[in-house]
Amino acid sequence: MRCPELLGINIEDKHLEEQWVKVMGKGRKERVVPLGSKVTWLLQRYIYHFRPEALDSSQLFLCVDSSPISDNDLHMLFKRLSGRSGITRLHPHLLRHTFATRYLISGGDRFSLQQILGHTTLEMTWRYTDMVALEIAVRRKSLSPMDGNTAVNTRARGKKWGSGAVFGGLG
């Protein structure tokens, strides 16, 4: 989610049993964002154990004093998390990019990612596809079955490809 979408979630927008939340995206477009099991569990824990009692706010995320959390509060939280974790480039939008990239790497399709992210066209989603293709190309070398086979690599050292010895005499 984008920061304004996250900050705009109201208590009634969460549907934890079904594992989704309703957010108001860019251009006042409403969309449904699915939640994973861990996020659902963490949200339940926050709501029932840590969320301050709100007197006049229906906003889901609140400060300790029951006031709605602001954009600045969220950025300060990430600044503290960055300092504690040692991750210097930690910011809210990075989580959105990371989710999109991991979603595609895990087998998710571009069309459902477009819906989840709230993109009006596939053009923005294609950027993530390009990033994933690059990451896969870099990984491909270490994932190659032949490159990972030490028996073939050990026997092949010092041999000429045409000698037949590399392929057990089949050359």
CB 152 within 8 A of CB 146: yes
Kindly give the pairing relationship between strand 30-34 and strand 20-24: antiparallel
Select the more confidently predicted residue: 162 or 127.
Answer: 127
Percent of the chain past pLDDT 90, that is, above it, reads 51
Short-list 156, 46, 133, 145, CA closest to 9: 46
Q: Which of 9-13, 72-76, 113-117, 153-157 has the lowest mean pLDDT?
A: 153-157
Q: Considering the chain, what is the average pLDDT of its residues?
A: 83
- For residue 115, the model assigns a pLDDT of 92
pLDDT tens, position by position, 74-94? 999 999 999 999 999 999 888
Give the residue extent of every domain in the chain. 1-88, 91-152
CATH hierarchy code of domain 1-88: 1.10.443.10
Average of pLDDT values for 29-43? 95
Short-list 10, 26, 35, 56, CA closest to 124: 26
pTM for the full predicted model? 0.71
Catalytic residues, which ones?
A: 2, 26, 93, 96, 119, 128
